Structure 1
Amino acid sequence: MNAPQPAGPDVGAPPDLVADVELADGMADLPNPGPDGVRRGRAWLLARLHTEPLGLVTVPLGDGLAAADIAAAVWRQCSEAITRRWPDADPGRLVSGAGPAGPTAFPAGRRAALDDGPAVTVVVCTRERPGPLRVCLDSLARQTYPRTRILVVDNAPTSAATAEVVAAHTGPHPVRRIVATTPGLSHARNRALAEVDTELVAWIDDDEIADRHWVTEVVRGFAERPDAAGMSGLVVPAEIATAAQAWYEAFGGHSKGRGFTPAVFDPGQMRQSPLYPLPPFGVGANMAFRTAALRDIGGFDPALGAGAPACGGEDTAIFTWLLLTGRTMLYRPSAVVRHFHRRDEAALHAQLHGYGVALTAFYASLLRRRPGLLWPLLGLAPTALRDVASPGSLRNVGVRDGMPPELMRANLRGMAVGPWRYVRGVLGGRRG
């Protein structure tokens, strides 16, 4: 699996270059400094073939990279994925481009989705973040899928900023704004779910930009697997401009452990427990569902999610409940979004602490809903504890020299309080 390659020991020395490399078009030199005069430490290159992402390649920029050097770096990290799709490829061919063509090439399946797919509602939940929202909506306006509808959920607004952004937005896809009066991401998600009238619903965060083929690839995933209830896609960095953003990618980013290989999670055939480890199943920053399946399991738990004491976990709960109720889930890396990570260390510290809180709050939510899961969870506990302690585990393998140890300690402290935070959220909801 061509997982994103963590940065090396210079992880705390950005800014870095983040760019796409389309292998079918060939390579071009990368000067350093670039045209903007900024000198960058490394390049993070999303290698694509006919727009299909194959790997995230990191390479030091030095005084600049020649096209042949870029091709060699891409070949080192992605040769297996490349040759599966382009059997006679080699580094020299990567420089010149002219990749494989014909009816078996990747875009053929996309064309079928464009022709025959159903309408899709894309939901953006936001609260007083007009700048990021504007950028996100601009990316959704560029979607190639013609039957895209956009629903903006203005969560407990204190100003007209979100309404003004939506009113000023122009594009080919209809955009509608609704208000969720109760603060909290799960409340906003459930408010949206009550309004959606399309077969499919996709979710993107307001601090992300969608690849122009994102919605098409969501539709394609469900068309190719009609039994699937939900899916998740690839999340790559939109920028690596600060040390905190590089540390977050070293930790694994949003796509930790998922890589660039499509996967099907069928509860009847899975060898891995739906309860642990969790990362392969999906991420709330890039997810989509059959609307009926999401409603069947009751939507999102209001005691989980950003804005609740639990800080998050509502997306993990949805993926897990779908699996526990016998539904099939997909991972499709061809559905790409780009995320703007927290730029400063204090914000990253709070984020990783929140991740720890959300993880164990999620397990508390499982036990509240189905107490009999206690026994399989106890059986998985030794594995989980080993993963927390082992430097080579999926949780820790991305951590490199330069990432402050306090960030990982904050994550562990969050785990310790997650169940109590969840109880607070439940009790607070009852009082409300």
Structure 2
Amino acid sequence: MSTTVLPAVVLDVDLAQTLPAVPAVQPDGRRAEQAWVLVRWHTEPLGTVLVDVPENGLESTALSAAIEAELGDVIRPKLARGDEFLASRRKILATAPHITVVICTREHPEMLAQCLDSLIAQNYPGFRILVVDNAPVTDATEKVVRAAARRGPVDYLLEPRAGLSYARNAATKAAPGQILAWIDDDEVADPNWLAEIARALHDHPEADVISGVIVPAELETRAQIWFEQFGGHSKGRGFTPDTFGPHTAHRQSPLYPLPPFATGANMTFRPGVIERIGMWDTALGAGSPAMGSEDTLAFTQVLLSGGTIVYQPSAVTRHYHRRDYQGLEKQMVGYGTGLVAAYTSLLMKRPGLIFPLLRLAPHALRDMTGKDTPRTATLRDDFPRELLSANRRGMLAGPRAYLKGRRAATRLTEARK
């Protein structure tokens, strides 16, 4: 791909303000092919649109027309309510609870610094940031944290055992009785991220987990575009709030996470919930043979125990997707491996779940192979189908990966005794 082409410029626009024009040639000289736009009304995200940028640029009137065509039915009721959303946020912030934000990181100092900047700038009255430095090989992370601590409430915690689940468990144990909001080091938080988490906690006192939405921070490469086609981190759920729990079991099984009910890069747990489900499985997660899905297992365990998960799309974070094809392919393999590894973990703990899982298997197979399913409907003609094959290849490796990770975790535990 020519370096003079920008697949999509990422915009964040608020309909309460003047819409911008989008020049065809960006300040860095690249030709923008499309504009990916997060649309808000008085800071509340309402949806996204993807608009082609003509050779002479996208005028603000054309952008407005594209937004109306795509989101008009959602926008019009909001316009009639004025700034009601802002007023309700101010009221919630008056009694907002203290929140501990957790970042688990390993040798990504530049990204971590960017994430910390976004957190220190939160429009929120009471919070602290806990950075877990996972099996570091340099002191770069600690230096970034110490520098950030001079500007805001940032604490440092070392976890020498490599693996995301070990880092998550260390944070959980270090913050007993606290609300824990989790964000990845390759993200930045919207200035009102914590405020919108507080809104969800206020509006849903029954909620055990709050899940926000993750949107792209950039779409600089085709690999990043393809990841969004695959559903991104929020798997195309959109911007309609929802809840999952015992009352929704008839429409969303806790055993089959499509559509998804949460994501680990933007999740908040009430005090005691993680402990109640037995902590994070150390045979899962980044750094393990399974490569991920410690979050998927945790969400499933919350639902199976009768808990409730709330999807709060106004709690926004932005993620820097993998830029190269090889990184995306590895991610797709990891998604498949981690998902089936999580099921393996679940079945080892609760063998009786094999029967409802078998009943769900035909549904899952249709989703993976059929057309216009939640997994395939958003894929365009240019999406490399070998990425779907990589995802399925990872699934086949899931059981073995989990057992390998379980053995490694057991040896590590015994070595520490």
TM-score band w.r.t. shorter chain: over 0.9
Q: Using a 3 Å threshold, how does the CA distance of structure 1 residues 148 and 173 change in structure 2: closer, same or farther? A: farther
Q: Which amino acid aligns with 2:330?
A: A
Of 327, 333, 350, the residue aligned with 1:347 is 327
What does residue 161 of structure 1 align with? 140
Q: Is the 8 A contact 1:29 1:67 kept in 2?
A: yes
In the alignment, the residues of structure 2 paired with residue 322 and residue 222 of structure 1 have an alpha-carbon distance, to the nearest angstrom, of: 16
What number of residue pairs does the alignment pair up?
Answer: 406
Deviation for aligned residue 1:343: 0.4
Please state how far the C-alpha of 1:60 moved relative to its aligned partner.
0.6
Matching of residue 101 in structure 1 with residue 82 in structure 2 = yes
Give the structure 2 partner of residue 40 of structure 1: 32
How big is the alpha-carbon RMSD for the aligned residues of Structure 1 and Structure 2?
A: 1.4
Tell me the alpha carbon deviations over residues 365-389 of structure 1, each in whole angstroms, 9 at most, x when there is no partner.
1101111111100110111111111
**Counterpart-to-counterpart distance in 2, 1:155 and 1:269:** 37
* Greater CA drift, 57-66 or 264-273: 264-273
- Alpha-carbon distance in 2 for matches of 1:157, 1:35: 38
User: Which whole-Å CA distance do the structure 2 matches of 1:194 and 1:84 have between them?
Assistant: 44
Secondary structure of 1:348's counterpart equals helix
**2:274 is aligned with what amino acid?**
L
Post-superposition Cα deviations, 1:338-358, rounded to whole Å, max 9, x if no partner, equal 000000000001000000001
Q: Which residue of 1 aligns with 2:261?
A: 281
Corresponding position of 2:114:
135
Unaligned ranges ≥5, structure 1: 1-12, 88-99
Question: Contact between 2:258 and 2:374, CA under 8 Å: does it hold in 1?
Answer: no
Q: Which moved more, 1:190-199 or 1:297-306?
A: 190-199
Q: Which residue of 2 aligns with 1:111?
A: 90
Which residue in 2 is equivalent to 1:235?
Answer: 214
Residue in 2 that maps onto 1:54 = 46
Is 1:224 matched with 2:203?
yes
Say whether 1:200 aligns with 2:210: no
| TM score, norm. by length of structure 2 | 0.95
- Report the secondary structure of 1:118's partner residue: coil
**Cα distance, 1:269–1:386 mapped onto 2, change above 3 Å:** closer
Gap runs ≥5 in structure 2: 413-417
- Return the offset for 1:83: 1.5
Deviations 1:73-130 (A, max 9, x none): 111111121022124xxxxxxxxxxxx535xx11122112211011100000000110
* Structure 2 counterpart SS, 1:246: helix
- Distance (whole Å) between structure 2 residues aligned to residue 199 and residue 185 of structure 1: 20
Distance, in Å, in 1 between the alignment partners of 2:187 and 2:259 is: 20
Secondary structure of the 1:41 match is strand
Alpha-carbon deviations, 1:396-425, whole Å to 9, x = none? 222212222221111010001101110111
Tell me the alpha carbon deviations over residues 14-69 of structure 1, each in whole angstroms, 9 at most, x when there is no partner: 43210111001132222221334332110001000010101111001112111110
- The answer to whether the aligner puts 1:152 opposite 2:131 as a matched pair is yes
- In the TM superposition, 1:339-418 aligns within 5 A as 339-418=319-398
1: CA distance, partners of 2:155 / 2:258: 34
Distance 1:21 1:171 in 2: 32
* Alpha-carbon distance, 1:280 to partner: 2.7
Distance 1:299 1:73 in 2: 46
Three-state SS of the structure 2 residue aligned to 1:30 is: coil
Please state if 1:330 is matched with 2:310: yes
- Aligned residue identity for 2:38: L
2:64 aligned with 1:83, yes or no?
no
- C-alpha distance in 2, partners of 1:426/1:197? 26
- Does the 8 Å contact 1:123/1:192 carry over to 2? yes
Q: Answer whether contact 1:148 1:173 (CA < 8 A) is retained.
A: no
Aligned to 1:311: 291
AA matched with 2:72: S
AA aligned opposite 2:370 = S
- Which of 27, 37, 57 is the equivalent residue of 1:64? 57
Secondary structure of 2:246's match?
coil
- On the 8 A contact 2:112/2:185 being kept in 1, the answer is yes
Structure 1 contact 14–243 (Cα < 8 Å) conserved: no
How many angstroms apart in 2 are the aligned matches of 1:117 and 1:348?
Answer: 38
Matches within 5 A, 1:179-198: 179-197=158-176
Q: Please report the TM-score for the alignment, with normalisation by the length of structure 1.
A: 0.91
Question: Whole-Å Cα distance in 1 between the matches of residues 347 and 59 of structure 2?
Answer: 55
Matched position secondary structure for 1:291: coil
Q: Secondary structure at the match of 1:16?
A: strand
1:415/1:303 Cα in 2 relative to 1: closer, same or farther (>3 Å)?
same
Q: State the SS of the aligned residue for 1:254.
A: coil
The alignment-based identity, stated in percent, is: 50
For the Cα contact (< 8 Å) 1:126–1:153, is it kept in 2? yes
